[in-house]
């Protein structure tokens, strides 16, 4: 992975982490704003839209990734 791709992935992970942290505080995804997510992740709102297209896509992808991660962490092989 080159430097650009690595930075992009790091930003995406920071954005998703910000979503999870905000959802823990606020609980209702409808009340979380792109501006709050951007501030928490230290990126611009435009970056979020460029990477995810919409708040709905971002939240969906974040929650799906989190569920998969939790399942993989609890699953015994």
Confidence of residue 74 (pLDDT cuts 50, 70, 90): confident
Taking only the tens place, the pLDDT of each residue in 4-50 is: 999 999 999 999 999 999 999 988 999 999 999 999 999 999 999 99
pTM of the predicted model, to two decimals? Answer: 0.88
- As a residue count, the chain comes to 77
Confidence of residue 76 (pLDDT cuts 50, 70, 90): low
In SS3 terms, 13-32 reads as HHHHHHHHHHHHHHCCHHHC
Query: What is the CATH architecture assignment of 3-74?
Result: Orthogonal Bundle (1.10)
């Amino acid at each position: 992975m080159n430097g650009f791709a690595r930075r992009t992935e790091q930003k995406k992970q920071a954005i998703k982490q910000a979503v999870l942290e905000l959802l823990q505080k606020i609980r209702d995804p409808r009340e979380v704003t792109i501006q709050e997510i951007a501030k928490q992740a230290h990126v611009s709102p435009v970056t979020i839209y460029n990477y995810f297209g919409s708040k709905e896509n971002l939240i969906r992808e974040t929650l799906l990734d989190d569920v998969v991660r939790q399942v993989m962490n609890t699953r015994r092989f």
